[in-house]
Structure 1
C-alpha cells in the first residue's frame, strides 16, 4: 500500500484539480440534484466537480493530508463539501442515503475488502440511484502509467458484471485512453467505466 500521506504532501495536486475524465464523459447519467458520496476521493477533485453541478456531496479519504488539500480546493472553488477522514472500513455508511455513489481509482482494495466495500456502497445508494465506478483493467499492467501493480486489484468486465448482477447495468465499457491527470496518471491507460442502477 502506498504511503499516501507522503505522496500527498508534495506541492500541487497529485492527480490534478480537474475531475477524472469519467465524470464529464458520463455526465448525462449523473444527477444534478440530491446527494453524492465520493469514496476514497483523495484531494477532492471529483467531489468538488460534483458540488459545482449542484449536488450535495460527502467525500472521505483515509489520508488527513489529502482531506486538508481537498477542503482547500473546495474553498478555492467556492464549494461546500462535507469531507471526512476515514477509510472504507471505518466510514459510517448510511442506508439508502445517496443518489450517486462514486468510486474512481479505488483499487487499493484486495478482493475480500473490495466485496465488503461494494456491498457498503450498494447499501448507501437509494433505490433508483446509481453507483459509478472507474478504474484500471489488467491490461494496465502493460502500460505502467498508474494504478496498483497487483492483478487481483484490477477490474474486469466479468468481475464487475458479477458484482452488480442484482442491479441494472447502464454502462460497462473497457477501453484504452491517454490520461493526463496530474503527475500520477499520465499516458496510455487501460480503463473501465461502470454505471449500475439500484432497483427502485
Structure 2
C-alpha cells in the first residue's frame, strides 16, 4: 500500500490540489482554533489550511513522498505542521489531546478501520469534534459516469452512515448523511460523486 501511494504522489503537481476540502474548511471556520489531527493527510492541503487559521496541526500518512510535499507546501506557506509516516496505531499521540480530528478521504482498509476509530475516539478530547468527508456507498454509480472523480475501487473501503453511527456511539451527530456533491480537487477528484459527511461532537 505504501508503494501504491508513493507512486501516486510522485509528481510535481499536487494531485488533489492545494486548496482545502470545502466541507472541512466550512466546519473549521465554525470552531475555535486548537489542536487538530489529520488522518491520512496526503500532500498537506488541509493541514496547511488549518495551520494558516491558527490551528496546531498534527498529521500522518503512509506515504513519505506525501509527507515531503506537505512539508514543502507548509514551508512555502510560512506555517508549521508536525507530520508522521508511522502506522497510525503505533504513533504515540497522547490520549484526550486533540480538539478536532479530521478524516478527509481517509479510506482505511477494513482490517484496520475499527482499531483506527477506537484510537481516534481515545485521542479526541471530551467536547471535541470529528469532521469527515469521504466517498459513500453510492459512489460506484458515479465512477461509471465521471472517470476522473476517483475513489476506491474496493467497495469495502467506502464510508457509510451506519458504520459511523455504530463506531462513534458517544457522539452527538450535528451532521451525518450521504449526499451528492461536485468535486474539483486537483486532477484526481473531478466531477460528481456520492460522499458521506460527518460533523460530530464527543459527548461530555
| TM-score scaled by length of structure 1 | 0.93
CA distance in 2, matches of 1:59, 1:139: 29
**Corresponding residue number in structure 2 for 1:188:** 192
Give structure 2 stretches of 5+ with no counterpart.
Answer: 144-148
Shift of 1:119: 0.7
Structure 2 SS opposite 1:174: strand
Matches within 5 A, 1:1-200: 1=1, 3-32=4-33, 34-110=34-110, 112-144=111-143, 145-200=149-204
Contact 2:24 2:132 in 1 (8 A): no
Give structure 1 stretches of 5+ with no counterpart.
Answer: none
CA distance in 1, matches of 2:92, 2:16: 26
Deviates more, 1:149-158 or 1:13-22: 149-158
CA distance in 1, matches of 2:4, 2:134: 20
CA distance in 2, matches of 1:93, 1:123: 10
Shift of 1:197: 1.2
CA distance in 2, matches of 1:131, 1:109: 19
Contact 1:170 1:196 in 2 (8 A): yes
CA distance in 2, matches of 1:31, 1:44: 21
Shift of 1:168: 1.3
Q: Deviations over 1:154-186 (max 9, x none)?
A: 122222112112211121122111101011111
- List, as ranges, runs of 4+ consecutive aligned residues in structure 1 with deviation greater than 4 Å: none
| TM-score scaled by length of structure 2 | 0.91
Contact 2:89 2:119 in 1 (8 A): no
Structure 1 SS opposite 2:89: coil
Structure 1 SS opposite 2:37: strand
Contact 1:42 1:63 in 2 (8 A): yes
CA distance in 2, matches of 1:30, 1:68: 28
Shift of 1:28: 4.4
